[in-house]
Amino acid sequence: MRLALAYFLGIVLIFGAWALVSFSLAWAKGRPILPYPWEAAVAAGENIWTLLSAFGTSALRFLVALVISFFLGLPLGLAAGFEAKLEQFLSPLIYLLYPMPPVALLLFLYLAFGLGEVVRLVVVVMALFFQVVVAAQGAAKFIAPTHVVAVRSTGASRWQLYWHVVIPATLPSVLTAARVSVGLGITMLYIAETKLGILLPPSQGLGRFIEYYTFRADIALAGVVALALLGLLFYVVLEVLEKRLCRWKYVGVKGGS
Amino acid sequence: MIEVQNVSVVYGSGEEALPALVEISFSVGEGEMVAVVGPSGCGKTTLLLAIDGLIRPTAGRILIAGEEVRGVRRDVALILQDAGLLPWKTVRQNAELALRIQKRRESVDGILSALGLNGFERRFPAELSEGMRRRVGIARALALRPRVLLMDEPMANLDSLTRERIQNLILDLWWEMGFTGILVTHDIEEAVFLGQRIIILSPRPARIREILENPGMGSHEYRGSPEFLERAKTLRQLLEENG
Ligand SMILES: Nc1ncnc2c1ncn2[C@@H]1O[C@H](COP(=O)(O)OP(=O)(O)OP(=O)(O)O)[C@@H](O)[C@H]1O
Ligand SMILES: [Mg+2]
């Protein structure tokens, strides 16, 4: 209840600030620049079905990209951090590729994958994948040796070692990293849906929605708000997932073992 | 049951080579319990890890039940120095861990209640006292009903009452289950209370300095008896000379 109230206050505050900025800009320039929140709200209402459909498409796209990033990035990152031999070999590769922005490769991605759904997913996956890999590798490097010895001494197989130690030990860091990367992921989603979505109707993703209504500032702004809400949605989902799956992190004395 | 023959372990190689064990030889009969004492950092944990098959000796060999140890054996259980509980598993899941990894379906209820842990099955290690965590570590090893139990300072850093209680418990369980035990400790009274023989190691790299017979061991009453105190005194002298 307190949390709901805090969110409500936050929303009121943001909309208040937004209205203030709109007013100041209009006053300074002598003409309307940024539509008022209520104008955007009316525009959202008038285009609600297109907007909802765009939201749904973007959410699904992001979810699929997130899941793919986990499925590919988690095993690679964990192995690269936990297996000393693999680490020597994979670390340089990962660190060379990690800072490379997929945006810089848009042209080649377009040439390689065309303008279909695949290329949009590839762009978002490329961004999230490296976040997951680097977080998993970092966490897997610092697994307590006593946990490994405890499980190895029972006669565990390599797979059992991963299942009982490596995965649970690194899950909190990986989920946190994924949560922090939502912002980056949403940016990449926007770029993918605008730059690589020029053939799409406005209902096929929020990026496309915003671009399509470039000249209707109030509608475009409604799309921007929806995009922010999409980010919030994934942020919250990942946080709830972490609290659920890593309950052990939140018990006992704060700062205790 | 356990034969350690001329075992040496060297960590690292070349310039950084660090010998931990030098030509250690001793044997432990079936159902016997032996204590190993030695100064901090001398190589006691290394010895247990080698017997458990987690470290390969640089030289020499170890036999258990007549077979050379080449990897982890499922009839040997290890209690780690700091219990080594997995923080993401509950008390029950930690106690069951070894059984489940070996695909065994036995229940751990009996051992948990023998160790006074019932009511805490669903707690995480972070919610337990240090003494309880140690008992979970003991439960995890004993749940396997192992033929050989290797214990690495299972009572270190506990208050003296809890320590004595767990020592009594280990003695009782040893009578009841009849495992062959090796107990590493740096506590003199503990070695005399639980070791039928006491192996004294030199500072690193560990060599065997002395093996002290301790035939009176075996009952709760032994603690505090004149014979017990005499043995403890001898052991203390030997350790002091050991330096
Ligand atoms: N994995 C390792 N790599 C390199 N050196 C090690 C390793 N493990 C232990 N050592 C070294 O070997 C020596 C013996 O270590 P060990 O843990 O066996 O001692 P210990 O007798 O159990 O000590 P303590 O009483 O503190 O538990 C120490 O000097 C330690 O620094
Ligand atoms: Mg030790």
Domain ranges of chain A: 1-34, 49-246
Comparison of pLDDT for B52 and A87, the residue scoring more: B52
Domain match, B183 and B225 both: yes
Q: How high is the pLDDT of residue A107? A: 85
Is the pLDDT score of B87 beyond 60?
yes
Residues lining ligand 1, CB < 6 A? B 11-12, 18, 20, 38, 40-46, 81, 186, 204
Residue B234 and residue B131 share a domain: no
Averaged confidence pLDDT in chain A: 91
- Mind listing the pLDDT tens digit for each residue in A66-85? 999 999 999 999 999 999 88
pTM, full prediction: 0.88
User: CATH number of the domain that B37 lies in?
Assistant: 3.40.50.300
Q: Which of B113, B145, B177 is the last residue of a domain?
A: B145
* Whether residues B132 and B175 fall in one domain: no
Give the model's pLDDT for residue A256. 45
Q: Are residues B183 and B227 in the same domain?
A: yes
Q: How big is chain A, counted in residues?
A: 257
Residue B4 covered by a domain: no
Residue B184, pLDDT above cutoff 90: yes
Output phi, psi for B107, to 5 deg.
Answer: -90, 150
Q: How large a percentage of chain A has pLDDT more than 70?
A: 98
Give this complex's ipTM: 0.90
Grade residue A113 by pLDDT with cuts at 50, 70 and 90. Answer: confident
Pair B94, B31 in one domain: no
Tell me whether residue B19 is in a domain. Answer: no
- B70 and B157 in a single domain? The answer is yes
Same domain assignment for residues B158 and B139: no
Q: Is B47 a residue whose pLDDT tops 60?
A: yes
Task: Please tell me whether residues B98 and B179 are part of one structural domain.
Answer: no
Tell me how close the Cα of B77 comes to any Cα of chain A, in angstroms: 7
Per-residue pLDDT reduced to its tens digit, B128-158: 998 899 999 999 999 999 999 999 999 888 8
Encode pLDDT of A177-228 as tens digits.
Answer: 999 999 999 999 999 999 888 888 999 999 999 999 989 989 999 999 999 9
Whole-number Cα distances in Å, A238 to A177, A179, A234: 10, 6, 6
Tell whether B9 is covered by a domain: no
> What confidence tens digit (pLDDT) does each residue in A114-160 have?
888 899 999 999 999 999 999 999 999 999 999 999 999 999 999 99
Total structural domains in chain B? 2
- Whether residue B21 is contained in a domain is answered as no
Instruction: Print burial letters for B202-220: b (CB count within 10 Å at least 16), e (below 16).
Output: bebbbbbbbebebebbeee
Q: Is residue B61 part of a domain?
A: no
Nearest-CA residue for ligand 1 atom 20 is B41
Q: Specify the pLDDT at position B204.
A: 87
Range of the domain at B139: 85-145
Q: Which two tokens stand for residue A213?
A: 């209504």
Q: Closest by alpha carbon to A41, among A254, A247, A226?
A: A226
Query: Mean pLDDT across the stretch B7-29?
Result: 93
- Among B204, B207, B208, B209, the mutation site with the greatest number of ligand 1 atoms within 8 A of its Cβ is B204
**pLDDT band with cut points at 50, 70 and 90 for residue A257:** very low
Share of chain B above pLDDT 70, in %: 100
> Does residue A254 register a pLDDT over 80?
no
Cα distance between residue A153 and residue A226, in whole Å = 52
Same domain? For B71 and B161 the reply is yes
Tokens of B101: 């990894």
- A97 pLDDT more than 80: yes
A49-246 carries CATH number 1.10.12.10: no
Whether residue B153 is found in the same domain as residue B130? no
Contact B72 A253 (CB under 8 A): no
